[in-house]
Every structure is written in C-alpha cells, then in structure tokens.
Amino acid sequence: LFVKFFAAKGPVFCSGHDLKELSNEDDVKHHSQVFELCAEIMTLIQKLPVPVIAKVNGLATAAGCQLVASCDIAVASEKSQFATPGVNIGLFCSTPAVALGRSLPRKVALEMLFTGEPLSAHEALMHGLVSKVVPEDKLEEETMKISQKICESSKSVLALGKATFYRQIAQDLDTAYKITTKVMVDNLTLRDGQEGIEAFVQKRKPVWSH
C-alpha cells in the first residue's frame, strides 16, 4: 500500500502540544520553533504525493484536531470526539483554526474555537471534518478498505491529482479551471493516463507503471 496513516492506541488519538513545552521557563524562540514545526508537519501532509488517512479512535484535541483536519481523508470510530479547547486555558487555538477553517463551515469552526466544546463523531461527519464514521470494531476494516481501493489506481495519477486539488482549491473559479484544464492535458501525457484509457476501451484491467 502506498497510502500513509495516522493512528494511535488508547483513548486519545492526539491531545496536541505538550503544554510543559509552552511554559514561561522556555523563551520565545523555543515557542516559535514548536509552532513552526507543527505548521511544517501540517502543510507537509498536503504536499506528500500519496493520500494520507487519519484513523481516529478517541479524542482529538487542539493540534490533534488540526491533524485530523489536515489529512486527506479521516475515518473515525463512533466514540471519537474533536475539540479545540485552548481558549479555556488562555491559549486560543489559532494554528488549529487554519485547518479547521478550511474543513468546516466558518460558524461551526468558530463555535468550536470560542467554546472549546467537542464535536461528536457524527457531528464531525455532518460538518465535513471526517469522511466516515463507523463502529469501533469496524474502524480498521473500513480504513483498510478505503486504502486498498485507492491503491487500485495509479500512484503517479493520484500524486498529480492530489497536488492539483490543493493547488486549485485556494484559487478563484476561473483560475481553478485554467489550472485543472492544463493538468487534465498533462495527465493524458502520463504513461498511466494512456494505459487507463486503453484498458477501458479494450475492456480489461489496467496495468499501472506507477
């Protein structure tokens, strides 16, 4: 499989930063490094040429919630919850807000950020923070089912598609169509692009070069 995963064992998927790293004993330079590294990881997820799936079985808070929002796909168990509770301890979740504000409707994201109250797994699904919610005992099976389906496609085509999706989503409509029109043409020049079309016409399974 060429899909990447984020997963955890135990009742917490990810609780975010270690607050001991953010005490007054450390200087501003150290604090900057902590948040810059976190931002680098979150942006790297979208720059990776393979799909990244969050497999969530538990609580995801603050930067942990940001991590879920940053992944390409997120599958959650029914017991999972998602929150940005920084406001309650005097540290507003401003960096998680970047990912949340791009995944959720603005008013939902702001309610989470202003109150710190968690979303249930089904609320997260309804608002688009996660892709799918399943019973806990089906989480591994469903996550692997999605990843195996993805891996039936060409790795090179997926890489091109993922990069293009994130590039165009930040643009206005006309620019987005200009970008994607060119990419569709580029896609046809790929070996796997031609193989897929030929296989479809010939009614056979494609043999990807990846």
Q: Provide the pLDDT confidence category of residue 147 given band limits of 50, 70 and 90.
A: very high
Q: Tell whether the model's pLDDT for residue 142 goes beyond 90.
A: yes
The pLDDT of residue 18 is: 67
Please give the pLDDT value at position 195: 95
CATH class, domain 4-151, is alpha beta
Q: How far apart are CA 104 and CA 182, in angstroms?
A: 29
pLDDT at 33 over 80: yes
pLDDT of residue 16: 78
* Extents of the domains making up the chain: 4-151, 153-202
Q: Rounded mean pLDDT of 49-67?
A: 95
pLDDT digits (tens, 9 = 90+) for 66-108: 999 999 999 999 999 999 999 998 989 999 999 999 999 999 9
The region, left, alpha or beta by phi > 0 then psi within -120 to 50, assigned to residue 62 is: left
Q: What is the pTM of this model?
A: 0.90
* Mean pLDDT score across all residues of the chain: 93
**Architecture of 153-202 per CATH?**
Orthogonal Bundle (1.10)
